[in-house]
Structure 1
Amino acid sequence: MIKRWNPSGVAAPAGRYSHLASVPADHGVVFLSGQIGAREDGSLAGPDAEAQTRQAFTNIAVLLDSLGAGPRSVVKLFTLVAGTEHLDGFRSALREVFDDWYPDGDWPAQSLAVVAALATPELAVEVEAVAAVPR
C-alpha cells in the first residue's frame, strides 16, 4: 500500500497534495511522460486549461489502466501550466478529478510550475505522473 502523509515540523500543504509518499517494496515505480490535453486522435480537447487538464488526467487514467493500476497508484504529479492566466482552469479541473479519484483526501505528492510556454503555443497544461505498480 502506498503511504502518503504530512509530518509535523513543516507547514500544512497549501493545496491538494501530501508532502510525502512512499512506495512499498513489492511495487515497481513507473514514470509517465507528461500528458497534454490531446484526445486519442491527436486533437486538443479544447483551447482552455480546464478542458486540457481534464483530458490530460483522462490520458493518465488510460496509461494507468494499461498497467493494471488506477489513480490510487499515483505517487507524485508534476504539472506545468503555461502562464498564470491558465491557473484557474487548471485548478477547477484538478478539483473535479481529485474529488473523483481521491474522495477521502489521500492525495499524491504534487508540484506545480507556471512556465512561459509549453512545446507548442496552443498547449496550456502538461501533467507528468509517477506511479507505484504491484510487481
Structure 2
Amino acid sequence: MKPRRWNPETVAPPLGRYSHLAEVPAGHRLVFLAGQLGVGPDGTLAGADAETQARRIFANLEALLEAEGAGPEHLVKLLTLVTGTEHLAGYRAAQAEVFAKWFPDGDFPASTLAVVAALAGPDYTVEVEAIAAVPA
C-alpha cells in the first residue's frame, strides 16, 4: 500500500506536478529525508546549473528511500528551494524527467516550491527535502 494522494474539486487544480492532499495509510512510519543538495556520494557538486544539481538531488532521494526499503511511490511531501527564478526552468526540466519515471500515472506527492535568496553555500542552486510513508 502506498500513500493516498488526490486533488479535491473544491480547489483549483495543481499548477504543476503535485497533489493538494496526501494521506499516510495505517501501518506506515513517517521517514523524514533531510534537504538534499546536488552533491554526489564523493562530496563533489554535480554541476553548476540547477538541472544537473536537481538530477543528482533526485538520485540522492532515491538512494535514501532505497536504504529504508522504500521507493519514490512512498513519498508524501516534498519541499523544494531554488535560489532564484532563473533556476526554475532547469529544476522543472529535471523534475519532469524524473517524475515521468517515478510517477508515470501522474499520482504526485504534495509539494511546495519556494524561491529563496540563498542556500548553505554560494554554488548550490536547489535543495529538496522530503517526507515518505514507509510500510512498517
TM-superposed deviation, 1:8: 1.4
For these two proteins, the number of residue pairs brought into alignment is: 135
Instruction: Verify: 1:125 aligned to 2:92, yes or no.
Output: no
Identity %: 63
TM-superposed deviation, 1:70: 0.2
Partner of 1:75: 76
The CA RMSD measured in Å over matched residues stands at 0.5
Structure 1 segments, 4+ long, off by >3 Å, are: none
Taking structure 1 as the reference length, the TM-score comes to 0.99
The aligned runs of 1:18-97 (5 Å cut-off) are 18-97=19-98
Name the SS for the 1:85 alignment partner: helix
Deviations 1:17-67 (A, max 9, x none): 000000011000010000000000000110000000000000000000000
Q: Which runs of 5+ in 2 are unaligned?
A: none
Name the SS for the 1:106 alignment partner: coil
Name the SS for the 2:33 alignment partner: strand
TM-superposed deviation, 1:114: 0.2
Q: Which runs of 5+ in 1 are unaligned?
A: none
Alpha-carbon distance in structure 2 between the residues aligned to 1:62 and 1:129: 13
Taking structure 2 as the reference length, the TM-score comes to 0.98
